């Protein structure tokens, strides 16, 4: 997913997007969604969040 798309999702959650790396922004979105902030931590196969919109990108 492109950074602009990630920013749009973040804005929907009222998350500030200025000067934040994509990975950190996605983790903030995950927390806002009520999920674990596990994006790109190497635990995608163990997180149990198959419905997470970032799940495929983790691999």
Q: Which residues contact 53 (CB under 8 A, 6 or more apart)?
A: 9
CA dihedral 44, 31, 7, 14 (to 10 degrees): 170
CB 30 within 8 A of CB 54: yes
pLDDT by residue for the chain (59 residues), tens only, comes to 899 999 999 999 999 999 999 999 999 999 998 888 888 888 767 777 777 888 777 76
What's this model's pTM, rounded to 2 decimal places? 0.85
Domain spans, the chain: 3-58
């Amino acid at each position: 997913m492109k950074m602009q798309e990630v920013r749009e999702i973040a804005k929907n959650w009222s998350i500030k997007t200025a000067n934040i790396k994509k990975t950190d922004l996605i983790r903030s979105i995950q927390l806002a969604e009520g999920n674990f902030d596990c994006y790109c931590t190497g635990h995608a196969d163990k997180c149990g969040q198959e419905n997470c919109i970032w799940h495929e990108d983790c691999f």
